[in-house]
Amino acid sequence: MAEEAWTIGKLLKWTEEYFTKAGIDTPRLDGEVLLCHVLNKERIHLYVHFDQPLTKAELAQFKDCIRQRVQHKPVAYIVGHKEFMGLDFNVTEDTLIPRPDTEILVEAVISRLQTGRENTGIIADIGTGTGAICLSLLNYLTTLRAVTVDVSEKAIAVARENAERLGLSERVEFFQGDLLEPIRGRKFTAIVSNPPYIPEGDIAGLDVDVKEYEPINALSAGTDGLDFYRRLVAEAADLLTEDGFLAMEVGIGQANPVKALGESHGWGQCEIIKDLAGIDRVVVLWKQK
Ligand code: SAM
Ligand code: GLN
């Protein structure tokens, strides 16, 4: 008797059970995303082709994806891309995977750049990773220009690739270097950053998916997680136009300490914006008029 074929429906069911036993948080979703990757189809395709059998080559590739996922490699690194702000970004293990929380920062920056200005001008994105923040801003604000900085040359290469894929290369410059160092002497309407903010001592307690796979220099930020905010808050005002602002994503419990840093460095108004879970997620410091 011929071996029973692995159809899409059967494979999804099997994978969901296998991932559940392996302690994967979103077993059904991950199985679907990986299968879409192998078949090069949208998720809806799976549901209208439940009885479609996989070819031997597809099955082999899918098994390889499953093997990686049960070792807790994040789905985005297996498939090589991640959706953020409705756009598709290439990701590699040299870049942080863009998080939904960071969309709060992008939205806050869009609304502030659009209000009370004739020209959105030029912004700087510090610690750009995949370029998720600055490329989304450029995509939605069509007169905006941007410069980006990252300490990781490999991350810059991924961000450049994303700029090209999204057709945004002409409005963005890339610099490898330490925080504001490569762009000193210039002026920006806004400086935006999702810097590393995890206290060193908390790294060991992170999910395996994060601590074993995501770049440590995208996450770890000194003993209290505030190292990058100290430097940005101390140095960014000189690089802003008179109506400029510094907008930063912060970790849990960090908004008030960052606000206090702003007060001690003579910034003007401070805004704190919550994420969808009600956690203070973004701090905006306005340059003192
Ligand atoms: N902006 C991306 C996002 O939101 O998805 C990535 C954010 S990730 C939390 C922080 C980024 O800062 C990483 O890409 C890391 O390489 C970069 N970074 C770390 N230290 C830096 C430094 N001293 N100067 C510039 N970039 C730095
Ligand atoms: N949000 C990320 C995490 O908790 C941390 C990103 C960062 O340090 N900026 O995994």
From residue 226, how far is each of 12, 161, 231, 248 by CA, in Å? 43, 30, 9, 12
Whether pLDDT at 1 is above 70: no
Distance CA 163, CA 134 (A): 9
Q: Stretch 251-267: mean pLDDT, rounded?
A: 97
Count CB neighbours of 255 within 10 A. 21
Average pLDDT, the chain: 96
- Residue ranges per domain, the chain? 8-71, 92-286
Per-residue model confidence (pLDDT) at position 3: 61
Whether pLDDT at 2 is above 60: no
pTM of the full predicted structure?
A: 0.95
**SS3 call for 89:** strand
Among 82, 104, 133, 198, name the best residue to mutate to test ligand 2's pocket (greatest count of ligand atoms within 8 A of Cβ): 198
Nearest CA to ligand 2 atom 3: 219
What one-letter code names the amino acid at 159? A
CA 217 to ligand 1 centroid distance, Å: 7
CA 130 to ligand 2 centroid distance, Å: 14
**SS3 call for 29:** helix
- What's domain 92-286's architecture? 3-Layer(aba) Sandwich (3.40)
What digits encode the pLDDT tens for the residues 153-175? Answer: 999 999 999 999 999 999 999 99
